[in-house]
C-alpha cells in the first residue's frame, strides 16, 4: 500500500506543477506581441502539451487517491478533515477543467482576460495546496 501512497503523492506533485505553470504561461501569452505569430504559436503548443501532462497527473492522482481510500484507509471518509479535503480536491478539479477551457480559448485566439487577471488566477491552486496539505498533515476537526 505504501507504493500506492507514493504514486499518489508523485502524481499529485505532477498535477500541481501543471496547475501552477499553465496559468503562468497564460500570463506570458496574454502579454506577448500579437504581431509575432511564431511566439503566439509557441505558447499555444506549450499550453496544449502542459495541459496533457497535467491531465495525466490529475487522473493518476485521483486513481491512486481513490485506491487509498477504498482499500487502505476506508475509515477516513467518515472524518471531517477528509470530507473538507475532498471538497478542495473537487474545487481543484473544477479549476483544472477551467484551465482546459482557457487553453481552448487561447487556441482559438478568443482570450478576453488581461495578464493581471491571470496573475491572480494563478494563485488559486496555491490556496488549494495549502489547504490540502494542512488538512492531511495536521488533521484538524478529527
Query: Could you report the per-residue pLDDT of 53-97, keeping only the tens digit for each?
Result: 999 999 999 999 999 999 978 888 899 999 999 999 999 999 999
> Residue 69: CB partners within 8 Å, gap ≥ 6?
76, 77
This prediction's pTM: 0.95
Q: All 3 cell numbers of residue 47?
A: 499550453
Mean pLDDT, rounded, of the chain: 96
Burial of 85 (0-12, 13-18, 19+ CB in 10 A): buried
Longest dimension (CA), the chain: 57
Is residue 132 a contact partner of residue 88, using CB atoms and an 8 Å limit? yes
Is residue 107 a contact partner of residue 48, using CB atoms and an 8 Å limit? yes
Amino acid at each position: 500500500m505504501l507504493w500506492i501512497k507514493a504514486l499518489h503523492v508523485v502524481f499529485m506533485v505532477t498535477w500541481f506543477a501543471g496547475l501552477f505553470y499553465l496559468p503562468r504561461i497564460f500570463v506570458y501569452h496574454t502579454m506577448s506581441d500579437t504581431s509575432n505569430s511564431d511566439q503566439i504559436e509557441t505558447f499555444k503548443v506549450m499550453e496544449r502539451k502542459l495541459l496533457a501532462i497535467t491531465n495525466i497527473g490529475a487522473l493518476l492522482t485521483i486513481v491512486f487517491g481513490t485506491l487509498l481510500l477504498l482499500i487502505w484507509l476506508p475509515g477516513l471518509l467518515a472524518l471531517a478533515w477528509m470530507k473538507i479535503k475532498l471538497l478542495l480536491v473537487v474545487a481543484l478539479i473544477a479549476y483544472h477543467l477551467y484551465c482546459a477551457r482557457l487553453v481552448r480559448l487561447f487556441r482559438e485566439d478568443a482570450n478576453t482576460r488581461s495578464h493581471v487577471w491571470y496573475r491572480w488566477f494563478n494563485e488559486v491552486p496555491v490556496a488549494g495546496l495549502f489547504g490540502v496539505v494542512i488538512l492531511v498533515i495536521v488533521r484538524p476537526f478529527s
